[in-house]
Amino acid sequence: MKIEEAKKFHKIDTVVIGAGLAGLGAALEIAKGGGEVAVLTKVYPTRSHSGSAQGGIAASLANVAEDSEEMHMFDTIKGSDYLGDQDVIELFVAEAKKTVYWFEHMGVPFSRTEDGRINQRAFGGHSSPRACFSADITGHVLLHTLYEQCLKHNVHFFNEFQVFSLLIEDDISRGVVAWDIRNGGLHIFHSKALLLATGGYGRAFKITSNAFANTGDSLSLILENGLPLEDMEFVQFHPTGLYKHGILLSEAARGEGAYLTNDKGERFMEKYAPQKMELAPRDVISRAEQTEINEGRGIAGKAYVHLDMRHLGKEKIMERLPQVWELAFNYLEVDGTKAPIPIQPAAHYSMGGIPANIKTEVIKDAAGTVVTGLYAAGEAACLSLHGANRLGTNSVQGAATFGRISGTNILEFIKTVNYPKMVANPLERAQRKIDSFMTNKGKEKHALIREELQENMTGHVGVFRNETDMLKLKKIIKDLLERFKEVSIDDKGSAFNLDLLEAFEVGSLLNFSEVIVEGALARKESRGAHYRTDFPKRDDKKWLKHTLAWKTDKGVKLDFSRNVTIYMDRYPPLERKY
Amino acid sequence: MDEQTNVKVKILRYNPEKDKKPFWQPYEVKIEPDATILDILNEIRWKLDGTLAFRRSCRSAICGSCAMKVNGRNILACETPMHRFKGRGLKIEPLPGFRIIKDLVVDLDSFFEKMNRVRPYLLLDKPIPDKEFIQSPEEFEEIREVCICILCGACTSSCPSVWSNEEYLGPAALLKAYRFIFDSRDDAADERIDIVNDKNGIWRCHTIFNCMEACPKHIKITEYLSRLKVKAVENSI
């Protein structure tokens, strides 16, 4: 197909994919600096999943207790089970404070201390109350504020556009091809710089806090272009997903003092993290919950335990945790002021993602060779800020801070380079994908394939993992990939074809799920969120390394030669206890 | 697994490429009794009819994608259990007052464009401090509730004044104006009041309270708009 056959051809210096905190943060900095930028999002910007973050944004402001960048840095390193890159974390804790003031000066409505400063609350794994918050809708107000500022600075939005292919040739990014969801048709975007800020990949799992949109499409496109993903086996399971739904109940509930109890009414965290109790990091608590459930101490023997906030009192619950109360009430008809709330671990955060350096430039190998003009930030990226396990409120901060940093770096970059040459047949790959769904006469339904994948991912590569289960899973995914070739869709139209989009998304899920499983199989140790019952100890000698994974014709290729950046004199790896 | 139950659903369908006008299509779905409206729509899409289009994302009532009209009321599909409409069949249709793009998907461009008209961003004359602006808990409380707005469109879509005058800003945009006018840090209250104190602004609100009933976040919208009217009067004296 020729370029002229595209519905529209756009030439824009910077294209950002994704309109969450990372994407909008970058776009705003570029626009404020006078750069040309367009944001493509498959939903409306204010619908992005950053808005679901509830509890807060981490920064060592020390507004309510003693705190410092060093303390924030150590907590983050320890939380990451020493897999986090310490140069990235060092930059992060310093920039985090600037990011919070940047937000506040743009109008974010933060909850306040008595003397009118930004209020802060306790969060798991943080040694000081460090979460700056706005009741329990922090992500929502951050997202809306950034969107408002982007409007003010005339960022150009392409709402409801789905990227179908990346145009990368000779390790130079040249743009993307995207489908106009509302009207149909493919658009070519020719750009100097491309930022992938598409969020996490939790939708590969059945019980998840993630939105329908979180299908990791750009991760799959990276693999398709022969580039690697990093540390994909590290998936965080949040301890307080609403039973059966997986919907997030903020860690802020425990930050404010809520308990976790089992069928006997015991605060079971006494056994697992006697010092930190309910404020231990998420991986530790999710394993504790799953152990209680597996050993028959789930409520009435079922697959859930209780989040009990009754003792906080109605007034505090309604002032500080109104959303938590309302979600439990609406979905389970449980009044959290009067009864404990059923919860279970839910796939929540993707520590792995597109490998990028401290400047958010995407890299293509263990040596750190940069793909020119290609950037990644936020949950879609792996810098690696969170290592093997992320601390609560560090994600919102990580997305915003590295989005902002990415914007600054891109602004410099686009000033110094000319447009790269467009590839010869830009539409070809995207059109082929669309044609195959539209014309396939196969009997397979994408929704059924997705359900089987999610069921088995939660079952076999969840909170606890072992080789037998994962070998089974590997085979299941292989079969599903085969069956996926026979997927046909009902809707052949152009206008808002959700059938086409969901089919494409299931393809994304299958593609990178294989990489999650291969990484988890190969990594014969337990670290952070990756827990192998057959290898229950951390093994720094062999595995204090990042995972890089490529998809090849012969299957997944793994490389463990990318070292973790560690300041041995300041933060040497220690045993992780809470 | 809970026992499943049969549900009769009618959905207002419209495909611009095929249909001259919208029509009601009946479905029968087998589903758990605690299912939400969104669960039902997904079940239809995934098992019965892949051509059905609607918007959804977070499914936890914070992204604002899935506002629609069920049995005469604007709701969020994701947070509304079907048993709230006990004993009746379900009639699901798009948000009224907007152009239908396809099935339950409406064109919200005008809705977002109206938001832009009130200059929905903090405007400052004063110098920016090194740290945060000081704002008391009481000053924060003034805007806390209005900041919960998720821009789902349920309120504006339910307002008879909007139906009769397309140019009227409508409750959501006015609430956004309120959010900045009453923010102690903002320096452009007068300018914003001029925008809302206009023939297509605050005075088109006839305190019908539909918006408040429709708001899935239970924001006391009409009350805030009334305070906005008082402010507008005070400013013009």
B102 and B123 housed in the same domain: no
Residues B13 and B41 in one domain: yes
Of the residues B106, B135, B169, the one at which a domain ends: B106
B23 and B77 within one domain: yes
Structure tokens at A203: 């939708």
B86 and B41: one domain? yes
- What is the rounded distance in angstroms from the CA atom of residue A439 to the CA atom of residue A321? 50
Average pLDDT over residues B144-154: 97
- How far is residue B229's CA from residue A432's CA, in Å, rounded to a whole number? 57
User: Nearest-CA neighbor of A508 among A182, A197, A213?
Assistant: A213
pLDDT score at B86: 80
Amino acid at B162: V
For residues A183 and A194, give the distance between their C-alpha atoms in angstroms, rounded to a whole number: 24
- Which residue in chain A is spatially nearest to B14 when comparing CA positions? A495
Rg (CA), chain A: 23
Assign residue B58 the CATH number of its domain: 3.10.20.30
ipTM of the complex: 0.97
Predicted TM-score (pTM) of the model is 0.97
- Stretch B84-112: mean pLDDT, rounded? 94
Chain B nearest CA to A417, separation (Å) = 33
Contact between B57 and A447 using a beta-carbon 8 Å cutoff: no
* Token pair in block for residue A400: 């915003």
B4 close contact with A: CB closer than 8 A: no
Q: Are A295 and A268 in contact (CB under 8 A)?
A: no
CA distance A176 to chain B (A): 23
pLDDT at A447: 97
> Domain ends where: B51, B78, B106?
B106
**End-to-end Cα distance, chain A:** 59
Chain A residue with CA closest to B51: the answer is A491
Closest chain A CA to residue B143: A109
On whether both B121 and B214 belong to a single domain, the answer is yes
Question: By C-alpha distance, which of A495, A374, A365 is closest to A17?
Answer: A374
Do residues A119 and A110 make contact, with C-beta atoms less than 8 angstroms apart? yes
Residues B10, B120 within the same domain: no
Across the interface, which of A137, A148, A247 has its CB nearest the CB of B121?
A: A148
Are residues B137 and B218 both part of a single domain? yes
- Flag if B132 and A327 touch (Cβ within 8 Å): no
Write out the two tokens for A516: 């999650």
For residue B188, give its domain range: 109-236
CB-CB under 8 Å, B64 with A47? yes
Q: Is A353 left (phi over 0), alpha (psi -120 to 50) or beta?
A: left
Residues of B in contact with A47 (CB under 8 A): 55, 57-58, 63-65
Residue B143 sits in the same domain as residue B88: no
Closest CA to A136 of A309, A261, A340: A309
Chain B residue with CA closest to A211: the answer is: B58
Residue numbers of A between 221 and 250 with CB closer than 8 Å to B: 245, 247-248
Q: Specify whether B10 is located in the same domain as B49.
A: yes
User: Among residues B55, B78, B106, which one ends one of the domains?
Assistant: B106
User: B17–A52: do the CB atoms touch at under 8 Å?
Assistant: no
- Residue A297: HSE in the Cβ half-sphere, 13 Å Cα cutoff: 15
Task: Identify residue A403 by its one-letter amino acid code.
Answer: G
Q: Does B104 touch chain A (CB under 8 A)?
A: no
Same domain, B75 and B156: no
**What is the residue-wise DSSP string for B15-26?**
-TTT-SS-EEEE
- Per-residue pLDDT tens listing for chain A (578 residues): 566 677 899 999 999 999 999 999 999 999 999 999 999 999 999 999 999 999 999 999 999 999 999 999 999 999 999 999 999 999 999 999 999 999 999 999 999 999 999 999 999 999 999 999 999 999 999 999 999 999 999 999 999 999 999 999 999 999 999 999 999 999 999 999 999 999 999 999 999 999 999 999 999 999 999 999 999 999 999 999 999 999 999 999 999 999 999 999 999 999 999 999 999 999 999 999 999 999 999 999 999 999 999 999 999 999 899 999 999 999 999 999 999 999 999 999 999 999 999 999 999 999 999 999 999 999 999 999 999 999 999 999 999 999 999 999 999 999 999 999 999 999 999 999 999 999 999 999 999 999 999 999 999 999 999 999 999 999 999 999 999 999 999 999 999 999 999 999 999 999 999 999 999 999 999 999 999 999 999 999 999 999 999 999 999 999 999 999 999 999 999 999 88
Give the single-character DSSP code of B145.
T
Which residues in chain A have their CB less than 8 angstroms from residue B94's CB? Answer: none
Number of domains in chain B: 2
Q: Residues 121-160, chain B: which have Cβ within 8 Å of A? A: 121-122, 124, 128, 130-137, 139-140, 143-144, 147-148, 150-151
Size of interface A-B (CB pairs under 8 A): 167
DSSP H or E segment with residue A355: strand A354-355
DSSP notation for A521-543:
HH--S-BTTB-BTTB-S--HHHH
All residues of chain B having their beta carbon less than 8 Å from the beta carbon of residue A118 are 132
Who's near B99: CB < 8 A, 6+ residues apart?
Answer: B106, B107
Q: How far is B230 from chain A (nearest CA, A)?
A: 24
State the CATH number of the domain containing residue B227: 1.10.1060.10
Q: Are residues B144 and B44 in the same domain?
A: no
Question: Of A130, A203, A282, A287, which residue is the catalytic one?
Answer: A282
Query: Are residue B131 and residue B227 in the same domain, yes or no?
Result: yes
Cα(A508)–Cα(A42) distance, integer angstroms: 14
Quick one: which of A137, A349, A333, A350 has its CA closest to A243?
A333
Radius of gyration of chain B (CA): 20
Burial of A333 (0-12, 13-18, 19+ CB in 10 A): exposed
Question: Rounded distance, CA A451 to CA A518, Å?
Answer: 20
- H or E element at residue A375: strand A370-376
Catalytic site residue A282?
A: yes
Q: What was the pLDDT predicted at A3?
A: 62
User: In A463-574, where do the E strands start and end?
Assistant: 545-552, 555-563
CA dihedral B149, B80, B48, A439 (to 10 degrees): 10
- Tell me phi and psi for residue A342, to 5 degrees: -70, 125
